[in-house]
Copies of this chain bind each other. A is one copy, B any other.
Amino acid sequence: MTILISGDKMTIDKILLDHGSGGKLSHKLISEILVPIFDNPILSSMDDGAVFEIPKGKMAFSTDTYVVDPIFFPGGDIGELAVNGTVNDIAMCGASPVYLSAGLIIEEGFSIHDLEKILKTMEKAARKAKVYIVTGDTKVVPKGAADKIFINTSGIGMIYDKADTASSNAKPGDKIIISGTMADHGITILTQREGMKFDTSIKSDTAPLNHVVKNMLTDYPQAVHVLRDPTRGGVGTALNEIAESSKAGIKIYEQRLPVKKEVAGICELLGFDPLYIANEGKFIAVVSPDMADQVLKLIHEDEYGRDACIIGQVTDDHPGRVFMETSIGGTRIVDMLTGEQLPRIC
């Protein structure tokens, strides 16, 4: 970013408080960096909000704030996470995400180069998910009042015509599908933290899930009863939420739970249970038993669903509880996550 000071060009490479003042430098940041990167006609009007036409129907609206540390990690960065996260939350409502907002909190002194890098991955992620970032806000706080950058994304989308998914819709007999391996994101962040040094090829699974959800809800709208992405709290907590909302029991099989070998190794080493580790590109689908194989086949066709498998079923027994048949043949209760495993995971 170049500014003129008494006729001389001066290049600013750090975010200044003035970038958040609402005045000239804010304008420069918005019109020279943000708007060109997210280039789209709705955003470019630069009014107090975005304005667009919508059809009559059912809308989904979701919000999520990202405070992940470190902000760059194998497989993605905070910007990609922020776009995919809200895209996925809307998809999990049974909707097709369309428009996103981006609210930035930036620490004074943050590198403008890093900011541009993050904004560009946000744009790339939005393009991949086929959504538009149409409105935004930038706040700058003094050094020490925030750590580097936090990003809020909110988004809206239209619910698919015949879709009727909700956490409360699981029915006894329904099959439980997971779209791929567990714990990749959380373990990736963990291995990047200061003091930890693992030489691994593990990377975050951050990915948009709206395209596979679209296929599922277009081809089998009545068969899909629940969609949920097991982010913070992991698969264990998400299953508990479903069991609780649906007032049904859930039984899963330890041997069927997909975990990458390397991820499983680190979990074992550090005493973490992959059932409680965050995922950022996976979903749980609760599906009619008679259609489960067809739905699973459809998920397998998607680039983010190749490792999908059925991990259990909904039961009449023990409403509100999740049970797991362990590898050695026993049965144990899978409770919600208690205690913080790792702060700033997303």
A residues with a Cβ closer than 8 A to B are 16-18, 20-27, 45-67, 69, 88-90, 92-95, 99, 101-105, 108, 134-137, 139-142, 144-147, 150, 152, 154, 156, 159, 166-168, 228-229, 231-234, 237, 241, 245, 276, 278, 335-341, 343-344
* Contact A22:B237 (CB < 8 A) given known A48-B93, A103-B64, A134-B61: yes
Instruction: Specify which of B20, B48, B88, B95 is in contact with A343 (CB 8 Å cutoff).
Output: B20
* Contact A339:B154 (CB < 8 A) given known A47-B166, A54-B54: no
Bound-state Cα–Cα, A58 to B344, Å: 37
Contact status A147-B150, CB under 8 Å = no
Tell me the smallest distance from the CB of A131 to a CB of chain B, in Å: 12
Contact status A51-B159, CB under 8 Å = yes
Bound-state Cα–Cα, A140 to B343, Å: 8
Q: 11 A-B residue contacts at CB 8 Å?
A: A22-B232, A22-B233, A47-B93, A48-B228, A54-B56, A61-B134, A61-B135, A63-B101, A66-B139, A105-B105, A141-B344
Closest B residue to A56 by beta carbon equals B56
* Contact A65:B24 (CB < 8 A) given known A56-B56, A60-B51, A154-B103: no
Q: A21-B337, A21-B340, A144-B144 are in contact. List 18 more A-B contacts (CB 8 A).
A: A16-B340, A21-B233, A22-B237, A22-B278, A23-B237, A23-B337, A24-B338, A49-B63, A51-B95, A52-B59, A54-B56, A54-B58, A54-B59, A65-B103, A105-B150, A139-B150, A141-B343, A152-B154
Tell me the smallest distance from the CB of A81 to a CB of chain B, in Å: 12
Closest B residue to A338 by beta carbon equals B24
Closest B residue to A147 by beta carbon equals B145
Bound-state Cα–Cα, A74 to B228, Å: 43
> Which B residues touch A58, using CB under 8 A?
51-54
> Which B residues touch A49, using CB under 8 A?
60-63, 89-90, 92-93, 95
Contact status A46-B90, CB under 8 Å = no
Specify which of A16, A134, A152 lies most central, judged by the most chain B CB atoms within 10 Å of its CB: A152
> Which B residues touch A234, using CB under 8 A?
22
Contact status B24-A63, CB under 8 Å = no
Contact status B21-A339, CB under 8 Å = yes
Contact status B21-A344, CB under 8 Å = no
